[in-house]
Amino acid sequence: MTEVETYRHRLGMETRRSVLGDAHVDRAIANATEFDEPFQALITEAAWGHVWSRPNFTKRERSIITIALLAALGQDEEVAMHVRATANTGASREDVREALLHVAIYAGVPAANHAIKIAKRVYEQMDAE
């Protein structure tokens, strides 16, 4: 990255790697272009360096919240990425199931149904690996 590395960027990168894994983060960095480099810096500092790095919730709790929010918003690729990240956050399959039940009630059955299909597919892939 050409951005000056800040404390929040370093902290964010550490947290991002611990949640998503080195392979995912390395791919994102390798695929960054001049166009999206500022976005990569933003999410590393803001999402990972500010929010995910706060001590008030555990990574497990943040993982559960994030999956529920992404499912409610219909962000399929992000749901899959964060379900896969549960291997690093400590969120169990039961945690994800409970979060998606909440999505069904508070954001709608279709959103939860679709996210459940995504989670099942990701868990099948993870089990096969």
CATH hierarchy code of domain 59-128: 1.20.1290.10
Q: CA-CA distance, 63 to 66, in Å (whole number)? A: 5
How high is the mean pLDDT of the chain? 95
State the average pLDDT over residues 23-52.
95
Residue range 96-108, pLDDT digits in tens: 999 999 999 999 9
User: Is the Cβ–Cβ distance between 16 and 52 less than 8 Å?
Assistant: yes
pLDDT of residue 42: 95
Task: Quickly count: other Cβ atoms within 10 Å of residue 35's Cβ.
Answer: 7
Whether residue 3 is predicted with pLDDT greater than 80 in this model: the reply is: no
3-state helix, strand, coil in the chain (%, to 5): 80, 0, 20
What residue segments make up the domains of the chain, in order of their start?
7-51, 59-128
Give residue 46's pLDDT band: very low, low, confident or very high (50, 70, 90).
Answer: very high
Whether residue 70 is predicted with pLDDT greater than 80 in this model: the reply is: yes
